[in-house]
Amino acid sequence: MTNETETQTNIGKADIAPGKSQTGRSGKLQMQDKERSSLEKAHQQNSGTKPMQSNSLKKLFEKELEVVYHSEKQLIKILPEILGLVSHPNLQKEFSHHLKQAGIQKERLEHIFHRLRLDKKGGKSLSMEMLLENAKKEMSELESGAVRDSLALIELQKAVHFEISLYGSLIDMAEVLGYHKIADFLDKSLAEEEDTDRQHSFIARNLYNQASQQVGKEPYRH
């Protein structure tokens, strides 16, 4: 058969075959669809969230809300394992405090989802997961002491700054969207993150001084 329908079908098959050159409008459109699908898949794998279905600010706000929610959940899941590798008493205390705060922040976000009548979607923040899993792996390769604790502090600071940037952006978007009460809730979490950042900076100088003098498993000096 050499009718037009068959010819178009064959062109379509040739277009999706690997290594074939793309010709014709239908071939280009199929290629564009394929590329778009690959990009969306890559985006989904990288962000851990579904691609946005709309260009609206409200949808962007909801998507970033999901990202920070999953970040808090990842932190709650992995931080106890990092905490188990930390030996400095002040750092243990600070990480334990931050873990409790993450639980409160997660509940705050669940309250916001409820107010906005949004489902708490499944998924995870791959950025946060990669950051914390990498921290855990690198820490496990070091001996217990000030250098390993310094690494833990630096890695957790990356996580804190990641969340500070998310909460800051969410507050600005919430105000523009008229979600003033929600902005107030998010502002509480931002203030907690910023306080954690200050506490970490306070501990860091002392910790780095001790790390600079560490030889093998030299104990802490207090």
Binding site for Fe ion (CB under 5 A): 102, 105, 163
| Tokens standing for residue 132 | 């914390």
Shortest reach from residue 6's CB to Fe ion, in Å: 60
- Toward Fe ion, which CB reaches closer, 109 or 211? 109
Question: What's the rounded Cα separation, in Å, for the pair 203 and 213?
Answer: 16
Shortest reach from residue 201's CB to Fe ion, in Å: 17
Shortest reach from residue 68's CB to Fe ion, in Å: 8
Relative orientation angle of helices 25-47 and 4-16, to the nearest 10 degrees? 40
| Tokens standing for residue 32 | 């564009």
- Toward Fe ion, which CB reaches closer, 149 or 163? 163
DSSP 81: H
Do residues 146 and 88 make contact, with C-beta atoms less than 8 angstroms apart? yes
Question: What's the rounded Cα separation, in Å, for the pair 19 and 206?
Answer: 60
- Toward Fe ion, which CB reaches closer, 105 or 150? 105
Shortest reach from residue 82's CB to Fe ion, in Å: 14
Per the listing, tokens 């914390």 go with 132
Do residues 217 and 145 make contact, with C-beta atoms less than 8 angstroms apart? yes
- Toward Fe ion, which CB reaches closer, 43 or 77? 77
